[in-house]
Structure 1
Amino acid sequence: MIIAPQWIGDAVMTEPLLRRLHARGERLTVGALPWVAPVYRLMPQVAEVIEFPFAHGGLQLKARRSLARQLAGRFDTAYICPNSLKSALLPLLAGIPKRVGYLGEARVGLLTHRLKNPPKAQRPPMVAFYSALSGATDAGLDRPLLQMDPVQLDVVLAELRLMRHAYVVFAPGAEYGPAKRWTARHFAELARRLALPVVLLGSAKERDLCTEIADLVSAEQPGKCRNLAGETSLAQAFSAIAAAQCLVSNDSGLMHVGAALGVRQVAIFGSSSPLHTPPLNEHATVLWLKTDAAYQPPLDCAPCFERECPLGHTRCLVDITAASVLQNIELVTQ
């Protein structure tokens, strides 16, 4: 059993771990929260996905004990991807004899095979971090891979009234916070400069942000943007990304989905670091002013990994221009 992370991007980055486990003959069942489960349905090495009936916050011991009784005796090993105490409870309660995970949140007694958890500043890229749970000493930056069923993809595109490679997807959200989000004004300027129409994707919480972008564009170019934020299932959003001409996003879960699907993409980084969570995709380009020698004064504050800019200026994002993103779109789509 794999206990999945609770974030979409992290779930994508566990795929190389699952590929390693499957290659050595392990049958894989993934336990995941409902908003992450669709990621694992695009991994052919996963035999079964169990959606956990848990919510954010609290140990929810009653629900965990109930599910543990159903799972008892089914598994030899549990690989626990999150670092939280509650994520390690279910394998213990289900009596899974081998429980592998990183030390964290007083989990010593819950794990039988414990990996040292390096400080965040010294943590390797997340793909390698998760892959190390397999016991491999060569865990590196294997590219995560998701596989979309082509027949199902055509069905979903028909439902969404989209044509392959006839639009650009914008994913302007980032669950972590505004210090990871390029501005709505910049996204709108980029949309106005593009020849193709734009499809805006995101969660219901990002609906207002996407509406703001669409409204800024529609004043000059009515109908240029189609706002699907909050109107699609996660599986439908994956299909829309898979068939796009290009994906433009912040460092977010949908960025990692696009990378794992091999979509041409431009990824915009601000407070986070592409050295830690890069889009592992040969068709990706990354914009990060921290490594731009021509950008002055240098961004000594980056990466800060904060939800909001501690200095109040968010230069790392504000100073990335729509023109520079457009130039990179043209490069990856040639």
Structure 2
Amino acid sequence: MIKKSKKCKKILVVKPSSLGDIVHSLPFLNSLKTCFPKAEIHWVIAKGLEGLLECHPMVDRLIIINKDIWKKLSRMTDTIKEVRQLLKDIRSERYDLAVDLQGLFRSGVITLATRAPVRIGFSEAREGSRFFYNVKVKGGKDVHAVQRYMKIAGALGCDTEEILFPFPLCRSEMKNMEDIRSCIKEYAVIVPGARWDTKIWDAGNFGRLASFLPIQSVVIGGKADMAIAEKVVQASSGKALSLAGKTGLKELIEVMRHARLVISNDSGPMHIAAGFQVPVVAIFGPTSPVRTGPYGAGNIVIQSDAACAPCFKKKCGDMRCMTGISVEMVYEKMRNISCGLRKTDL
């Protein structure tokens, strides 16, 4: 454990992505702010995900990076200029502590650029990023991401017993949510999309499941999920409506905050729901619920008996881990979930 310094006035957290991973790091943020209540906390986040931390009372500054552009060779000149300015900006802040929760080469370089007296990250961090830290913590592999991040909080001398997900409250999005709730009093949320094709359960299955529920279902997702969301609606027998492509991250948080139940693939929105302790029914195939399942009690993870899972493949010609999960299997297990619905309703 590092001896806690009372002079820690400015802290940088490097955790650009992804949506679910940033949600998993919120308990770390809560623990860090409780441990260093007077410190400024800055956060490096990827462009497109800043809505998750905007308006957050525990974060004093967001440093937004356009990391997807950095990967394009055609934008190399612009990338070099942007990175140089970023590193210069970070050095000028004179951080006392830099925390790399991402554990990749890019995040390691950003952490090193702070020149902070304490630069902490995971000992098993990838792409050589661990060589940029002067304090290393063993996170482990078969441990949930929330607990893994909290190990760094513990190494900093912070309390790790209480796990809280402090989501921000943005008043404008709360007003928009009130307009939605005036039309739909109670609803379940269906999340049919995912970043990997291998994590996607058939849209028709989600729709059939929605048709069995005693309350209306709202289908959410980004613009890329609009087509799959419409397939869910078409298979729902009039029991679902789509908000895919119509909500930003702030609005998505409010949708999840008031949901009665969430049915989802392994996805970022699933973790937002779990953070609010909304009961989650999670469909898992190629990924491990031990590492990235919905955190907390009262959730149900449904998997097939495919021997090859979890394989962590983003592409696969044999999707038995997902096709082996039937609507009937999910429906039967949903009967046992504590979601405030009457048992006779499911």
**TM-score, reference length from structure 2:** 0.80
- Aligned to 1:174, the other structure's residue is in SS state coil
Query: How many residue pairs are counted as aligned between the two chains?
Result: 317
Match of 2:263 in 1: 248
Structure 1 residue 69 corresponds to structure 2 residue 76: no
In structure 2, C-alpha distance between the alignment counterparts of 1:139 and 1:233, rounded to whole Å = 33
Identical columns (%): 23
Which sections of structure 2, spanning at least 5 residues, go unmatched?
1-11, 342-346
- Alignment pair present for 1:29 and 2:37: no
Q: CA deviation at 1:146?
A: 3.0
The 10-residue stretch of structure 1 (153-162 or 199-208) with the greater mean CA deviation from structure 2: 153-162
Tell me what 1:305 maps to: 312
Match of 1:52 in 2: 65
185 and 323 in structure 1: CA distance in 2 versus 1, 3 angstrom threshold: same
2:226 is aligned, of 190, 207, 213, to: 207
Judge conservation of contact 2:109–2:129 (CA < 8 Å) in 1. Answer: no
Match of 1:185 in 2: 204
Task: Name the CA shift for 1:201/1:332 in 2 (closer, same or farther; >3 Å).
Answer: same
Q: Residues 286-305 of structure 1, C-alpha deviation per residue, up to 9 Å, x if partnerless?
A: 2234xxxxxxxx43222222
Q: Is the 8 A contact 2:303 2:325 kept in 1?
A: no
**Cα distance in 1 between the residues matched to 2:248 and 2:55:** 14
Displacement after TM superposition at 1:50 (Å): 2.6
Alignment of 1:38-49 (within 5 A): 38-41=51-54, 44-49=57-62
Q: Is the 8 A contact 2:54 2:168 kept in 1?
A: no
Distance 1:57 1:254, change over 3 A: same
Q: Look up the equivalent residue of 2:320 and give its one-letter code.
A: H
Alpha-carbon distance, 1:328 to partner: 4.4
Please report the RMSD computed on the Cα atoms of aligned residues, expressed in angstroms.
2.9
**Equivalent residue letter for 2:40:** R
Q: In the alignment, is the contact (CA less than 8 A) between 2:256 and 2:273 conserved in 1?
A: yes
What's the secondary structure of 2:121's corresponding residue? strand
Asked if residue 15 in structure 1 is aligned to residue 26 in structure 2, the reply is: yes
**Match 2:243 to one of 221, 225, 228:** 228
Counterpart of 1:181, as a letter, is I
Does the Cα contact within 8 Å between 2:274 and 2:294 map onto a contact in 1? Answer: yes
Give structure 1 stretches of 5+ with no counterpart.
290-297
AA matched with 1:107 = S
Q: Is the 8 A contact 2:91 2:114 kept in 1?
A: yes
Retained in 1: the 8 A contact 2:260–2:339?
Answer: no
Shift of 1:56: 5.1
Work out whether 1:314 is the aligned partner of 2:321.
yes
1:249 shift after superposition = 0.9
Instruction: Tell me, in whole angstroms, the C-alpha distance in 1 between the residues paired with 2:264 and 2:245.
Output: 17
C-alpha separation between the residues in 2 aligned to 1:208 and 1:319? 22
